[in-house]
Every structure is written in C-alpha cells, then in structure tokens.
Structure 1
Amino acid sequence: MYEVPKIPQATAKRLPLYYRFLQNFSNAGKIRVSSRELSEAMKIDSATIRRDFSQFGAFGKKGYGYDVQELLQFFRSILDRDEATNVALIGVGSLGSAFLKYNFHRNHNTKIVLAFDTGSPHAGEKRSGIFSFHPDVLEEKLIEHSIELVILTVPAKAAQPLADRLAGTDIKGILNFTPVRLDVPDRIRIHTIDLSVELQTLIYFIHQQET
C-alpha cells in the first residue's frame, strides 16, 4: 500500500484524470509514457504533470519516462479502484435520470445502488435498473445499503432540508448539483457543481479568446 502525502486540491482533482489516461495508454499496449505524451493527450502542461508526480515520489526516469503499470498500480491504490463505493442519488428528474442511465460503475469505482424521489413509492420501484424509494425512508435505506456518498439533484428549496437529514447519517460526501451552498458538519465533504455557473464561465473564456 502506498502512503500518499497531503496534496493540493488542484492536484487531487487531476488524479482520476491521470488514471483514466494511463489506462488508455495501457490498453493501447504502451509500456512507458513521457510527461510530453501525457500532456498532449490530457491537454495539461507537462510541467504541471511532472510537478504533480514529484509529490508522490520518484516515478519517472530521465530519458525513460514513466512506467505505465507502476503508475496505474499507484493511482489504483490511492483511488481505491479495486473496490466500488456505494452511492445514492436523491432526485430523479432529468439530470438524475441521466445519472441512473449512465451509472458510474461501468468505468469508475463508484456505483449508484439506490435512488430517492418524491414520485417513487415507499416500497420502491425500478428506474433504469435501480430501485428508487420515497425520501420518507431515506435514513433507513442509507444504512441498509452502506451508503457513503450521495448525489443531490433536487430543486434548490429542497437541498438544505435534505442536507440536514443527511447530516444525521453516516455519509461521508455529497456531490451537490444544486445552486445552494449547503451547511453540513465538517466530517461531510461537499463538492458543488453549479451547471449555470460552469456555463457562464465557459462563455466568459470563449469571449476572452475572441478579443
């Protein structure tokens, strides 16, 4: 087992990307890869890649590059790729339904195992092969399925009340797709993805390129 030092948040966000592209190189039969090749594939500056990798120890060799399998083993270890994490989805609207149809376990180490929606019965119903329950049974089902992570795709007004309920459970993280900045205990990690903000940011950078 590798010991991973504390790393900057920006570096941590790139870890799954490194794993994905290294897996692509491995599938293509590559034995070793240079920071330049990773840079061209990932569209990330090669200096950034070298700086990130240097924080994990001496993986690269000058004139040789990086051993693909060694890096894959390292990233698999720190990302727990060999064991799926159970995820619950709350809110099966348009975005939530898309998540259910895709489901992450096909390509990642996360798997949506159940969902919650006000339109679902207390006894549950199948949606895209996943059982969806009414939120009234939220707490008991989270315990029953050993849920660690929750994806929140509900209307804004429902976000904080649900977060308050989740704070009373043993979940460790919330992927929040609402525009609300949730208030939860420090033990729960929140990543908020506001699609409208992301779109506006993209438009800003496009306009910047045009000037």
Structure 2
Amino acid sequence: MVKKTKLEAIPKATAKRLPLYLRYLKMLQNAEITRIKSKGFSEITQVPSATIRRDFSHIGELGRSGYGYDVAYLIEVFNHILDAQDEKRIALIGFGNLGKALAKNNFRRNDNLNIISVFDNDPSIIGKEVEGHYVYDIQELSDVVKENKITVAISTVPSQYSQKAVDKIVASGVTAILNFAPDRVEVPANVHVQYIDLTTELQTLIFFDQNYRQAKISI
C-alpha cells in the first residue's frame, strides 16, 4: 500500500533520487526483469541498499521480505509520484553554449520533458532560427509561456544576471525553475528553484575518485 504520493511529503534527499530509480527501473523492465531486490538494485544504481530501503519506506510498503520489489509496480508508483507520464513543457532561458547543448539533447531519455521554446537577449540571434530552434526575445517570455502552456523553466544565464532572469520567469507564472547559476536567487514561497553548480559537482567527483583510489592503494 502506498501511503504517500506527493513529493512534498517525502524528504528532499529521497525525492532527488526518485527520477534515478525510475530510469533504472524502466531499463530493467526493457530487459524483461520483473523483480529486483535492494542489493541488486544497489549494484545497478550505485546507491547503498540501506538508502534504497529507507527511501522506499517513505513511500509505502513497496516490497515483500524474501521476494524483493515488483519492477512494474515500482514504475507505476514512481510515475504517479513524479507525474512522469504527463508532458512537461519547458522554456530555456539563455542560448549560449550551455543552452545550445541542453536544447540539442532535449532530454532524449524522457519523451515527456520537452524544451518548447528558447529565449535570449542577444540581438544577433533574436528572431532567428539557431541550430533548429527559433530564438525569442526574453521580453516575450510571459506571452510565450501562456500561449504554449509552459510550466518549467531552465536558466543558463550567468550568475551576475541570474536574478533578473529569474524575476522574469517568476513574472511569467512559471513556478518550477532549474538554475545553472550557483548563486542563490530570491523567489516567492510558491516558486521552487533547483540549482546546478557544475564546479561543485566536479569537485565532489574528484574528491570521491581520489579517495576511492587511495583506499584501494592502502588495502
């Protein structure tokens, strides 16, 4: 029985792992694997089995002792929690190198995440088609959001301009923002911002890689 079905009822750290779990569960289903135990799922996801069991316990009684977890059922549960079956229409703010890379990829692993429109303030590309995407003026954001029923925005604007970009996103009515500038921005309480700090992620990767190699050497 699933006792909680909304992300706000689940710890943030757990909620951040749910999309990862869902991705690997779909891979298992495609490989015609019907059930999996936490130990096996841990080996696939590289998440400790104790963490997996604790994460799942926040949602409900998803498995049975000695049997493990039914893959199809977990996919159904996580799809419901993440609302992953409904299309998420995305506005991309900032069409520099990072923005172009994101637009080119356009979430190929998930057909329900779609970058609908891109925006910039560079007069040299506004109103033109660049790498297959028509570039709107950032001043048109509110109108385009309403016209295309956009619910999510991704900002690749540099930190020094990030607050202004986020202000325009908030004014457009979008309440879910993925921000690639690490500096925190001010938003209303009903707006949710997720930060992607590439420098921090790289430093964390290097730290764990170095410590893993040192641990192997010392054994």
Say whether the fold is shared (TM-score over 0.5).
Answer: yes
Per-residue deviation, 1:105:
5.5
Per-residue deviation, 1:121:
7.2
For residue 76 of structure 2, the aligned residue among 64, 73, 78 is: 73
Structure 2: give runs of 5+ residues left out of the alignment: none
Per-residue deviation, 1:106:
4.5
User: What percent identity do the matched residue pairs reach?
Assistant: 41
1:148 and 2:151 matched? yes
Report the Cα distance in structure 2 between the residues aligned to 1:26 and 1:46, rounded to whole angstroms. 20
Q: 1:122 to 1:135 in 2, by over 3 A?
A: farther
Contact 1:152–1:175 (CA under 8 A) maintained in structure 2: yes
Counterpart residue identity of residue 158, structure 1:
Y
Contact 1:100–1:127 (CA under 8 A) maintained in structure 2: no
CA RMSD of aligned residues (A): 2.0
Counterpart residue identity of residue 14, structure 1:
R
Q: What are the equivalent positions in structure 2 for 1:43-58 lying under 5 Å apart?
A: 43-58=46-61
Q: Deviations over 1:146-177 (max 9, x none)?
A: 11111110122221112222222210111100
Q: What are the equivalent positions in structure 2 for 1:16-95 lying under 5 Å apart?
A: 16-95=19-98
Runs of 4+ aligned structure 1 residues displaced above 6 Å come to: none
Q: Deviations over 1:87-143 (max 9, x none)?
A: 100111111000010002552532100000123679733334333211121221121
Q: 1:67 to 1:193 in 2, by over 3 A?
A: same
Range moving further from structure 2, 119-128 or 39-48? 119-128
Range moving further from structure 2, 141-150 or 194-203? 194-203
Give the alignment's TM-score, normalised by structure 1.
Answer: 0.91
Report the Cα distance in structure 1 between the residues aligned to 2:139 and 2:58, rounded to whole angstroms. 45
SS in 2 for 1:119: coil
Partner of 1:4: 5
Report the Cα distance in structure 1 between the residues aligned to 2:167 and 2:144, rounded to whole angstroms. 16
Report the Cα distance in structure 2 between the residues aligned to 1:99 and 1:123, rounded to whole angstroms. 18
Per-residue deviation, 1:184:
1.0
